[in-house]
Chains A and B, each alone.
Chain A
Amino acid sequence: MAVAATFFDGETAHDRPVTVERISNELQFSGENTPLTRWSIAGLHPIDPPSPGQPFRLTHDSQKGSRLILRDDAFINDLIASNRALRGGYSFRHLGQVLGWTVGGLAVAVALGWFAMSFLPQQLAHLLPDSWRNRVGEQVISSLVEKARKCETSAATGAWSAMIAKLAEGNSSLPPISVSVYDVPIMNAFAAPGGRIVFTKELLRQAETPDEVVGVLAHEIGHVAHLHPEAQMVRLAGLQILISAISNGGSGEWAGNIAALAAIFRYSRDAEREADEYARSTMAAASIDPMGLKHFFEKVLKLEKGKPDSTQTPSATKPTALEKIGDVFSTHPGTEQRIKDIQPLPTDHVPAKVLSEEQWKALKAVCG
């Protein structure tokens, strides 16, 4: 059966009348200005899905720019019946491809995300120059303590120096640090990039002995030594960059976002274990009684458990960034184990006295 059709060669807009014939698995067509052309049916592609009463437009793998337009309904139907791919439109193969790519894409994204969030930040943290670490540390502290007053007396500064000197007796490679106290009514202590350690007034108020404070200090120095705050900042910055890239533009709300993100992504359990380990070995070598730190952790745990569940009873005031971020307060699962891991000093060690009575009083009174 030969039918009339139109052929466009893709070189000119000239429409060429041709006669098409189907011979076994080929379409053969020729016309006045068109030499005999043979297109295999397997290589045919529909331009649009066939629709009744409409011309059916085809191209072929061998001549991608050319078009053959069929108008004979019987011929078209016969052709479509011989090759389902000519129906065009959606197919299960198309759907399968989309789902395959989606699942594959998600898997790659999760793998990259895991790499970028767990392994990479710790490595990058070592590459940050000190000037960056210091500047970021300032930013983090000012966004976390907000407008709280910084408490400073020369006697208290002396007490901190005494504690650091004591710890240095046990560890000759103590990283350079600076400690400051802020007038915040929330019990907390944290380390910011650049070796900046922050204590709150409330923590000092709750502490009963200098051993408790020096224990917390040793733990925070552990974070500093392992560059945990820096790694955390790299992690949060990466996340923030990703978010702003996906939402098509940078946002200026960096500090606020960092505080919010910090609340969601606290230190990992491994990081806390590393800081604990650092505190334990440093204190043991300096003959500082670790039972102070243990006692302090127990107190934190009890306070946390005694508090009404904040997720169920909405408090009247919005929790501050400092309340959410927490280091001392990060009572994620495993705190009991961490407490258990703190062992008393060996019996042959005489516990050292960390602060004199005057120094301890000055420290407790630093915020007036």
Chain B
Amino acid sequence: MSDTATMAGVSAPEQLTFSFVKRPGLLKITIVSFLLTLITLGFYRFWARTQVRKHIWSSVHINGEPLEYTGTGMELFKGFLVVFFVLILPIAVVTGFVGILYGPESPLLITIQFAVILAIYVLWGFAVYKAWNYKLSRTQWRGIRGALVGPAMTYSLLFFGSLMAKGMSLGWATPVMNTVLQEQITNDMRFGDAAFKFKGRAGPLYPTYALCWFLTLGAIILVTVLASVSAASSPLFSEAFGNQPQNAEQIAGMLIIAAIILFLVFLLLVPMLWAVYTATQMRVFADYTRFDGAPFRLEATTGSIIGLTVVNLLILIFTLGIGWPYINRRIVRYVVERLHLDGKIEIDRISQSKVPLPTRGEGLFDAFDVGGL
């Protein structure tokens, strides 16, 4: 073959554009999944999850070529079986026998239960990492698959450490720990032989975090003060209106209703407040991430995140959970429609990943009921 022929095979670097192309058929998948999951006492869920992923993945297009999900329900089921027989059943047998032999309040049983809870926290990061590894390894674009190349244990220990640090610092370690975790997993991420890189400091996250933290603290203090004032003032009112007990009762009743409304508003406002931080973190993390040298950019805004979350919550409530495939699709769509890769990639040079494929999927993740995508 001549030089020109080989040259013709490799095209120039390209700009990558992400788009979400809605496909019909999700309703059918949702209904069939629900019915079969019901009939099989829940065991169809592994195949249902696979069908939904195949559908959603195929709606994500990069430069006109869709993503492809190559996982199978059987792989997820095998992952579940391994976790059930290696972890869940032995724990149940041990706690069961100790409970019967030494009673429900025995120190030995409490120690074992404490150890189990500790183990769950340690394994949580492991589960998260393994689940990402499985999903990436089953995601293909142009016939090339993704991978996580690191040992899961490093991430797992970091994850456990981050839980401790966040708790002990009353949350103040959150931006640092999230950045460290994101750096760890992103730097392990590959598409074929092309790498993702994450580089950046947690500093820019702190102003937003501090704002959200102090506003939350203020809201907690406000609600506590108002609640105790209304509780303390009702006897005062009954004294003041001693000769008109009906009036006193009315005012006390109104105060209680006001306190309840205030509490509900508090419950709604605080998560909305934290959407400010979530949006900032998503934007900053995208800025810190590069693929094959090109930087990402994510147009996440507080308003759009609140909108996404509220509608997803409504779908969850009004479909009694059956509509979860739509929720997953909305989350993927949200990210895909706002994600940009600035810079050009030599796509044709990317070759297949050499990392061995994991043979089972996400058993632990399923056991911890983290759910999600």
A-B contacts counted at CB < 8 A amount to 137
- State whether the Cβ of B241 lies closer than 8 Å to any Cβ in chain A: no
How many Å lie between the Cα of A136 and that of B101 in the bound state? Answer: 5
What residues of A have a CB within 8 angstroms of the CB of B356 in the complex?
Answer: none
- Is A135 in contact with B192, judged by CB distance below 8 angstroms? no
- Is B9 in contact with A254, judged by CB distance below 8 angstroms? no
Minimal beta-carbon separation of A86 from chain B (angstroms) = 16
- Is A13 in contact with B141, judged by CB distance below 8 angstroms? yes
Considering only residues 118-167 of chain A, those with a C-beta below 8 Å from chain B are 132, 135-136, 139, 142
Q: Which residues of B contact A (CB under 8 A)?
A: 5, 8-10, 21, 23-25, 28, 32, 36, 39-41, 43-44, 47, 54-55, 58, 65-66, 68, 84, 88-89, 91-93, 95-97, 99-104, 109, 113, 116, 141-144, 192, 347-352, 367, 369
Is chain B's binding surface mostly helix, strand, loop or mixed? Answer: helix
Considering only residues 190-214 of chain A, those with a C-beta below 8 Å from chain B are none
- State whether the Cβ of A240 lies closer than 8 Å to any Cβ in chain B: yes
- State whether the Cβ of A233 lies closer than 8 Å to any Cβ in chain B: yes
Minimal beta-carbon separation of A47 from chain B (angstroms) = 6
How many Å lie between the Cα of A344 and that of B21 in the bound state? Answer: 88
Minimal beta-carbon separation of B58 from chain A (angstroms) = 5
Minimal beta-carbon separation of B14 from chain A (angstroms) = 10
Contact of B84 among A9, A99, A245 (CB under 8 A): A245
- Sort chain A's interface into a size bin: 35 or more
| Among A9, A90, A237, A250: residue with most chain B CB under 10 A | A250
What residues of A have a CB within 8 angstroms of the CB of B39 in the complex?
Answer: 98-99, 102
What residues of A have a CB within 8 angstroms of the CB of B99 in the complex?
Answer: 250, 252, 254-255
- State whether the Cβ of A89 lies closer than 8 Å to any Cβ in chain B: yes
Contact of A51 among B23, B47, B88, B350 (CB under 8 A): B23
Contact of A241 among B21, B96, B101 (CB under 8 A): B96
What residues of B have a CB within 8 angstroms of the CB of A244 in the complex?
Answer: 92, 95-96
Minimal beta-carbon separation of B285 from chain A (angstroms) = 25
- State whether the Cβ of A73 lies closer than 8 Å to any Cβ in chain B: no
What residues of B have a CB within 8 angstroms of the CB of A250 in the complex?
Answer: 91-92, 95-96, 99, 113, 116
Minimal beta-carbon separation of A108 from chain B (angstroms) = 13
What residues of B have a CB within 8 angstroms of the CB of A13 in the complex?
Answer: 141-144, 192, 347-351
Minimal beta-carbon separation of B29 from chain A (angstroms) = 8
How many Å lie between the Cα of A244 and that of B99 in the bound state? Answer: 12
- Is B93 in contact with A241, judged by CB distance below 8 angstroms? yes
Q: Which residues of A contact B (CB under 8 A)?
A: 8-16, 32-33, 47-49, 51, 54, 57, 65-67, 69, 89-90, 95, 98-99, 101-102, 105, 132, 135-136, 139, 142, 233, 237, 240-242, 244-245, 248-250, 252-256, 258
How many Å lie between the Cα of A17 and that of B110 in the bound state? Answer: 65
- Is B351 in contact with A12, judged by CB distance below 8 angstroms? yes
Minimal beta-carbon separation of A253 from chain B (angstroms) = 6
How many Å lie between the Cα of A47 and that of B23 in the bound state? Answer: 14
Given contacts A250-B113, A255-B103, contact A241 B32 (CB under 8 A): no
- Is B352 in contact with A254, judged by CB distance below 8 angstroms? no
- Is B44 in contact with A98, judged by CB distance below 8 angstroms? yes
Contact of A255 among B58, B104, B141, B348 (CB under 8 A): B104
Minimal beta-carbon separation of B40 from chain A (angstroms) = 5
| Residue ID in chain A nearest B351 by CB atoms | A12
Given contacts A253-B104, A255-B104, contact A12 B68 (CB under 8 A): no
Contact of A66 among B25, B93, B143, B347 (CB under 8 A): B143
How many Å lie between the Cα of A102 and that of B352 in the bound state? Answer: 38
Minimal beta-carbon separation of A12 from chain B (angstroms) = 5
Q: Apart from A48-B58, A242-B92, list 17 A-B contacts with CB within 8 A.
A: A8-B142, A13-B143, A14-B142, A47-B58, A48-B55, A51-B25, A54-B23, A99-B39, A139-B100, A237-B97, A240-B96, A244-B96, A248-B88, A248-B369, A252-B113, A254-B100, A258-B100
Minimal beta-carbon separation of B352 from chain A (angstroms) = 5
What residues of A have a CB within 8 angstroms of the CB of B10 in the complex?
Answer: 14
- Is B348 in contact with A12, judged by CB distance below 8 angstroms? yes
- Is B25 in contact with A49, judged by CB distance below 8 angstroms? yes
How many Å lie between the Cα of A32 and that of B141 in the bound state? Answer: 22
6 smallest CB-CB distances across A and B, nearest first, come from A254-B99, A250-B95, A8-B143, A14-B348, A245-B92, A13-B350
Minimal beta-carbon separation of A103 from chain B (angstroms) = 10
Minimal beta-carbon separation of A171 from chain B (angstroms) = 30
Given contacts A8-B142, A14-B348, contact A136 B100 (CB under 8 A): yes
- Is A245 in contact with B23, judged by CB distance below 8 angstroms? no
Contact of A105 among B25, B43, B100, B103 (CB under 8 A): B43
Given contacts A90-B32, A245-B92, A248-B88, contact A12 B349 (CB under 8 A): yes
How many Å lie between the Cα of A136 and that of B100 in the bound state? Answer: 6
What residues of A have a CB within 8 angstroms of the CB of B351 in the complex?
Answer: 11-13
| Among A13, A66, A69, A256: residue with most chain B CB under 10 A | A13
How many Å lie between the Cα of A250 and that of B348 in the bound state? Answer: 52
What residues of B have a CB within 8 angstroms of the CB of A95 in the complex?
Answer: 36
Minimal beta-carbon separation of B91 from chain A (angstroms) = 6
Minimal beta-carbon separation of B67 from chain A (angstroms) = 10
What residues of A have a CB within 8 angstroms of the CB of B28 in the complex?
Answer: 89-90
- Is B88 in contact with A245, judged by CB distance below 8 angstroms? yes
Minimal beta-carbon separation of A257 from chain B (angstroms) = 9
What residues of B have a CB within 8 angstroms of the CB of A242 in the complex?
Answer: 92
A-B contact pairs, 26 of them (CB 8 A): A12-B192, A12-B349, A13-B141, A13-B142, A13-B143, A14-B9, A14-B10, A14-B347, A32-B5, A48-B55, A57-B68, A66-B143, A67-B142, A67-B143, A98-B40, A102-B40, A139-B102, A237-B96, A237-B100, A240-B96, A241-B89, A244-B96, A245-B92, A248-B367, A250-B116, A254-B103
